[in-house]
Amino acid sequence: MKNGSVESEAAFRAEVRGWLRGNVPAEPSPPITRDGIEQASYLRNWQRQLFEAGWAGISWPKEYGGRGLTQREQIIWYEEYARAGAPDGSGLFVGLQHAAPTLMLCGTPEQKAFYLPRILNGQDIWCQGFSEPNAGSDLANIRCRGTVVGDHIVVNGSKIWTSFAQAADYQELVVRTEPGSKRQKGLSWLICDMRLPGITVRPILSLDGEFHNCEVFYDEVRIPLTNVVGKLGDGWSVSMATLAFERGTAFIESQMRLSVTVEKLLDFARKAQGSGGRPLIEDSSVAEKLGNLRARAAALRAMTYHSAARAMTQKVPGPEGTYVALMLAELKQEVYRLWLELLGPQGLERGTGHDPANPVEKYLFSYAGTIGGGTSEIRRNIIAERILNLPKHDAVAEIPA
């Protein structure tokens, strides 16, 4: 298939749509429980099915097991994937969208050869060990220590808000390996086997009733020096590359899902009855809110296309993807909030978390989007400083004398 032509893209879209129509699982993804075993098994099986059918790693280079297609085909896949209601692969997000591109950019040949195939075929699940107590959005404030002892790094400390750590096989772990170093200096990016002795995982119950996040404790955990990605002490630059991939095109699937959700909400408003037995959408205030959400979803989609187009010409995505991440997180909250408002008292009922007609759990969990990966305030600072070139904010100047 010749990439880039309208005809080839239309043929690719038809191929994707046809395969998804016949293969999307009928059963929904199970909830994330305290041990995460059922969810992990579901995700591994689905990713293996995608891999065996040739639908995993569409834009991955062929040398790493992908199809070597462009971001245009990758976007087409995400669009059709979302429309088909295919499984939410957020439990595989860190491996596919964080670890894999970071290893492609900064990993050794040995690291690439071992880990990349296992990520792509669903064999391994990854989690992220960045955030710490008192150092959530402030990544440079890391205190988790890694002491070089012979050919190992001995890790002590803790991490928090680690998504899906209870079922993960590996972790992208950033620790402070230079004693006395501060802020961005002296950090290292490590591959941590989550089955090593000395690791304790404590799942955290979320508002939606599932266990998305965990605390992770490290007590004399010995990680081989061969698991350092990049150079020892150069973890900040490697971490910035990791986060750049997250802020670049990693949220395309989530954005596409949100567009589909907006259309479902519109369909709900057309069918559901309001006062006087008239469809909700005939209420001018409801129609105005829905129109606003639909327009913003379309704007977000255009921004996503623009971000993906830039990514085609950049080895590492720039900070422009922060626009998309910020708008996506905040718009998702508003979409589900309006849905609950239209449901009325019914919206207070807790369901399974997988029922699109009762989205209360999704609304509750949507607040994680404006915290995880950097709060909305952090993202606005990135936009102001790195994109608009505004001067850094001095909070002290706001304190009255």
Query: Could you tell me which residues are beta bridge partners of residue 229?
Result: 189
Residue 71: per-residue pLDDT: 81
Q: Residue 39 in contact with residue 30, Cβ under 8 Å?
A: yes
Q: Domain 6-88, CATH 3.20.20.80 — does that match?
A: no
Q: Cα dist. 14→7, 17, 199, 224, 353 in Å?
A: 11, 5, 46, 47, 31
Strands 187-193 and 126-129: unpaired
Q: Give the count of beta carbons closer than 10 Å to the beta carbon of residue 367.
A: 16
* Of 122, 164, 386, 363, the residue nearest 258 (C-alpha): 363
Alpha-carbon distance of 50 to 208, in angstroms, equals 29
| DSSP sequence for 329-388 | HHHHHHHHHHHHHHHGGGGGS---S--TT-THHHHHHHGGGGTTTS-HHHHHHHIIIIIS
Alpha-carbon distance of 28 to 87, in angstroms, equals 7
Q: Residue 145 in contact with residue 175, Cβ under 8 Å?
A: yes
Residue 343: per-residue pLDDT: 84
Q: Give the count of beta carbons closer than 10 Å to the beta carbon of residue 261.
A: 20
Q: Which fold has domain 248-398?
A: Butyryl-CoA Dehydrogenase, subunit A; domain 3 (1.20.140)
Chain centroid to CA 57: how far?
16
Fill in the DSSP letter of residue 190.
Answer: E
Strands 126-129 and 170-176: parallel
SS3 224: strand
Alpha-carbon distance of 46 to 279, in angstroms, equals 39
Reduced DSSP (H G I as helix, E B as strand, rest coil) percent helix, strand, coil of the chain, to 5: 50, 15, 35
Helix (H) or strand (E) holding 118: helix 109-120
**C-alpha torsion sign, points 2, 82, 242, 110:** negative
What are the domain boundaries of the chain? 6-88, 127-234, 248-398
Q: Domain 127-234, CATH 3.30.465.10 — does that match?
A: no
Q: Cα dist. 155→134, 143, 211 in Å?
A: 18, 11, 25
Catalytic pick among 246, 253, 320, 361: 246
Q: What are phi and psi of 348, to 5 degrees?
A: -85, -10
246 is catalytic: yes
Q: Each residue's pLDDT tens digit in the chain (401 positions)? A: 444 577 788 999 999 999 999 999 988 888 899 999 999 999 999 999 999 999 999 989 999 999 998 888 888 898 899 888 888 878 898 999 889 999 999 999 999 999 999 999 999 999 999 988 877 667 778 899 999 999 999 999 999 999 999 999 999 999 999 888 888 889 999 999 999 999 999 999 988 888 999 999 999 999 999 999 998 988 888 988 887 776 556 677 788 888 888 988 998 899 888 777 888 998 899 999 999 999 999 888 888 777 766 666 665 666 667 777 788 888 999 999 998 888 887 777 766 444 545 688 888 888 887 877 777 787 888 778 877 888 876 543 333 33
SS3 1: coil
Alpha-carbon distance of 202 to 184, in angstroms, equals 28
Q: Cα dist. 388→38, 235, 249, 381 in Å?
A: 45, 27, 20, 10
